[in-house]
Structure 1
């Protein structure tokens, strides 16, 4: 079996034997991997608890719809209103529990300033359930 030695057979070896060092490092690495706790990514969800009583779901809230036609006229559930009446209707709908959904559907040809003023009125009335409906009519514009 050939062994690495110095130039002459009588000289001591100048190279360090790294095999035991590598063995110790591998054992330490395996111990480190085993002792690291497994990482768990949990999402805490509060699920409803079964109370044993079959309570019916809450009644669907009323859905109100605001539309704006190309001439800039504002309609509340199909009847024409002005800005003051619209604000009164919005304030009354916010007081209802549960708050009714408000669907907003401006015509694509409606002037932006009318749509903007109606949106500002909706924001000032503190409506929290607002949805834009009929957006599919704009899909070919871009």
Structure 2
């Protein structure tokens, strides 16, 4: 705080009680410069290790398995209705194939989420990694 006295003639001098902000601004600028210096430089590049050479020819195409869930939350395997136990058995069989199939999961908008989540968790539990959710545009409001 600065204390200045002014004399305007006879009488007591008036005291000016304004805060001096110059040191505060100096400290703020020093802290800002320190912050800018200590931030690591961000690179806008992603380093990838790309394979070299010609990619191998994939002669064996994976099988496509269509799983549908209708509006009554019934599960269909390739168009045929299945129970939860049958679904588990069928996924066990296809997971044992040398080339795991692609699972195309198509739920109905009115199906229960628990049934959909159960099918997804079963695919993960069986080790089926190629899962696609078909028709997700129906869920956009």
Change (3 A) 1:138 1:42: closer
Q: CA RMSD in A?
A: 2.1
Matched residues in 2 for 1:86 and 1:48: separation?
41
Count of equivalent residues: 96
Q: TM-score, normalised by structure 2?
A: 0.60
Match of residue 77 from structure 2? 76
Match of residue 48 from structure 1? 53
Matched residues in 2 for 1:42 and 1:123: separation?
30
Change (3 A) 1:48 1:100: farther
Whether 1:67 aligns to 2:72 is no
Partner SS state of residue 88, structure 1: helix
Partner SS state of residue 124, structure 1: helix
Listed as ranges, the gaps of 5+ residues in structure 1 are 1-40
Give 1:102 deviation, angstroms.
0.4
Matched residues in 1 for 2:135 and 2:75: separation?
16
Deviation >4 Å, runs of 4+:
none
Rg larger in structure: 1
Matched residues in 1 for 2:47 and 2:66: separation?
41
Give 1:56 deviation, angstroms.
5.3
Matched residues in 1 for 2:47 and 2:65: separation?
40
Partner SS state of residue 75, structure 1: strand
Listed as ranges, the gaps of 5+ residues in structure 2 are 1-45
